[in-house]
Amino acid sequence: MLKEKRAAEVAAILSKYPHERVRSAVMPLLYLAQEEYGFCTPDSMREIAQICSIDPTEVQSVAGFYTMYFEKPVGRHVVEICDDLPCVLRGADKLVDYAETKLGIRAGETTSDGAITLKVAMCLAACDRAPMCQVDLKYHYDLTREKFDDMVQELRK
């Protein structure tokens, strides 16, 4: 249980919100759960719902809406290639194909060594530097096959 494993952090998060607005703690609690378990587990989402006095489906809808919450296990690094229209017009679809071949997985899967999860993403608001991807919290712009290869090499170190 998050309230037992991370009691101090849960209390710190809840202290930021007035009691009648405790539902606003959903997002930081989801981050905490993800940090603890590697992803937002069904049990952790149920617990967060209970902490925030809301329905579990509301917690699931928040986790499902934001791409930085993971609802299933992911690798140590998450590579999200934007495949929205402006990026595709600059070759993102071919980069996704290349990344799948290079990593030996399909988008949505994790490499067998657990190092990298490959995902595709909707517009990440960096269209002026398309094609681009997000690796964990960092953006990589003007992506090419060579840059992708260098990035993967770095991630596997």
Which chain residues interact with ligand FES by CB under 6 A? 82, 84, 86-87, 123-127, 130, 132
Which residue, 32 or 124, is less far from ligand FES as judged by CB?
Answer: 124
The Cα-based distances of 76 to 45, 68, 91 in angstroms read: 21, 14, 26
Which residue, 1 or 122, is less far from ligand FES as judged by CB?
Answer: 122
CA atoms lying within 13 Å on the CB side of residue 99: 32
Q: Locate 14 and state its tokens.
A: 């809840």
Which residue, 14 or 123, is less far from ligand FES as judged by CB?
Answer: 123
Which residue, 55 or 141, is less far from ligand FES as judged by CB?
Answer: 141
Give the shortest CB-141-to-ligand FES separation in angstroms.
9
Give the shortest CB-54-to-ligand FES separation in angstroms.
32
Give the shortest CB-151-to-ligand FES separation in angstroms.
17
Instruction: Please provide the distance, in angstroms rounded to a whole number, between the alpha carbons at the two ends of the chain.
Output: 33
SS3 content of the chain, % helix, strand, coil (to 5): 55, 10, 35
